[in-house]
């Protein structure tokens, strides 16, 4: 039918625009956060773009769900504002329920993508992100030396900076090091240095032609020592296997194999709820889109955002209850998602069957139009 083809086309355009805006904002925030981690030496600066991709994949399922919800709501709200709904209802023999099929036809592929992201792809991306951080944190001080960047060594007791590093990583130039103790501070600067390993496997930075300043902060008394050679021992961490123990990084089959692990069951609730939430939200958006043509659309958007926040908080609370053993996985899934399914049914009944029985002054549209007239 004509209205179905036009609806799907407009839904695609609106969903694309909404998702682009929301995704750009979230991606920018994630990029700034990851750049901050790289600047602080907590992740490898060479993996920034890789980490940004992982961050995007982790957040993609909720972003698609809210984008789809807002797209359906905005598209149908525009139809009400332009009186297209009235035309379809009066001349085409179409009811509000007739919009479910075309909306689902457009939404089902996206919901399937949300399912794949929530159950498989996002946990994998989170696991890869955590793996990168663990690999970086287990590197020796020598491996973390990078030109033009301050890094913490000796368990955070010292801050180390080099301006240049040779291609083989064994020679450095223009070295700066500071160490803060309880009652004194030490600052060391040298023109050149080299990294050496002794017979016992200990690694040192051997500095040449520099000065050492030692004293107490807030006092003018500093001891200055010039040196030709100065050695700094670097930590060498023993090799250890990296184990990913967080349940939010574990694959789906492994979570199902842990029925007695409340954290694993809570993670399952989180993953399973997003596809169901996307379906519930688009069904809620159809009756929620009703708008008096003489009023604005702002109230619908506000109510929609509040519903999404309520749903998001509900998933988080349900996950906490499952992790604490207050509710089981099945009961929490039914109660949480079933409540919003019932809300969708009530809204449809409200717009199709119960409309004639409800006084006009009890409707949102009545007070919205009254506010617009004032």
Residue 56 pLDDT = 93
Same domain, 6 and 131: yes
> Is the same domain home to 339 and 354?
yes
* Residue-level pLDDT at 333: 93
217 located within any domain: yes
* pLDDT the model gives residue 202: 75
If asked whether residues 94 and 157 sit together in one domain, one would say no
Say yes or no: 90 and 174 in one domain: no
Question: Same domain for 132 and 91?
Answer: yes
* Strand (E) or helix (H) holding 62: helix 48-81
356/265 same-domain check: yes
Q: Is there a single domain that holds both residue 192 and residue 286?
A: no
| 221 CB-contact burial (10 Å; exposed 0-12 / middle 13-18 / buried 19+) | exposed
- Same-domain status, 59 and 18: yes
- Position 44 scores a pLDDT of 77
- For residue 280, is it within any domain? yes
Instruction: Answer yes or no: do 331 and 195 share one domain.
Output: no
Let me know: does 45 contact 38? Beta carbons within 8 Å. Answer: yes
What is the total count of domains within the chain?
2
- Which of the listed residues 204, 234, 264 is the one where a domain comes to its end? 234
Q: Is residue 239 part of a domain?
A: no
Q: Identify whether residues 210 and 279 lie together within a single domain.
A: no
User: Cα dist. 73→79, 87, 264, 284, 362 in Å?
Assistant: 10, 19, 34, 9, 22
Residue 131, helix vs strand vs coil: helix
167 with 133, same domain: the answer is no
Using the 3D structure, point to which of 207, 234, 261 is the last residue of a domain.
Answer: 234
Q: Say how far apart CA 250 and CA 264 lie, in whole Å.
A: 9
- pLDDT of 357 reads 45
Considering 181, 203, 234, which residue would you say is the last residue of a domain? 234
State the residue range of the domain holding 109.
2-137+244-373
Q: Which parts of the chain register pLDDT below 50?
A: 356-359, 361-362, 364, 367-368, 374
Residue 304's pLDDT is: 81
Q: Left, alpha or beta for 241 (phi > 0: left; psi -120 to 50: alpha)?
A: beta
Are residues 128 and 249 located together in one domain of the fold?
Answer: yes
Residues constituting the chain: 374
């Amino acid at each position: 039918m004509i209205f179905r083809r036009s609806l799907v086309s407009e839904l695609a355009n609106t969903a694309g625009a909404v998702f682009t805006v929301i995704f750009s904002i979230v991606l920018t925030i994630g990029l700034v956060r990851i750049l901050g981690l790289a600047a602080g030496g907590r992740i490898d600066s060479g993996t920034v773009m890789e980490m940004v991709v992982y961050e995007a994949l982790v957040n993609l399922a909720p972003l698609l769900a809210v984008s789809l919800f807002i797209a359906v709501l905005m598209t149908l709200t525009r139809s009400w504002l332009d009186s297209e709904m009235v035309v379809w209802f009066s001349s085409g023999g179409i009811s509000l329920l007739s919009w479910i099929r075309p909306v689902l036809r457009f939404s089902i592929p996206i919901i399937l993508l949300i399912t794949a992201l929530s159950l498989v792809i996002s946990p994998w991306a989170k696991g890869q992100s955590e793996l990168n951080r663990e690999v970086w944190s287990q590197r020796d001080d020598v491996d973390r030396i990078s030109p033009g960047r301050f890094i913490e060594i000796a368990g955070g007791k010292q801050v180390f900076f080099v301006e240049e590093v040779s291609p083989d990583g064994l020679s450095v130039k223009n070295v700066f090091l500071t160490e803060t103790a309880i009652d004194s501070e030490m600052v060391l600067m040298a023109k050149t240095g080299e990294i050496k390993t002794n017979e016992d496997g200990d690694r040192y930075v051997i500095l040449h032609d520099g000065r050492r300043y030692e004293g107490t902060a807030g006092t003018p008394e500093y001891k200055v020592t010039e040196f030709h050679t100065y050695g700094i021992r670097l930590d060498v961490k023993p090799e250890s296997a990296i184990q990913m123990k967080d349940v939010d990084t574990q694959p789906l089959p492994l979570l199902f194999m842990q029925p007695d692990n409340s954290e694993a069951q809570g993670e399952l609730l989180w993953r399973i709820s997003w596809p169901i939430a996307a379906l519930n939200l688009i069904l809620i958006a159809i009756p929620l889109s009703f708008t008096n043509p003489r009023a604005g659309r702002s109230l619908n958007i506000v109510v929609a955002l509040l519903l999404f926040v309520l749903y998001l908080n509900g998933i988080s609370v349900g996950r906490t209850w499952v992790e604490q053993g207050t509710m089981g996985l099945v009961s929490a899934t039914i109660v949480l998602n079933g409540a919003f399914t019932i809300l969708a049914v009530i809204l449809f009944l409200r717009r199709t069957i119960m409309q004639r029985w409800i006084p006009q002054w009890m409707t949102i549209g009545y007070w919205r139009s009254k506010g617009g007239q004032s």
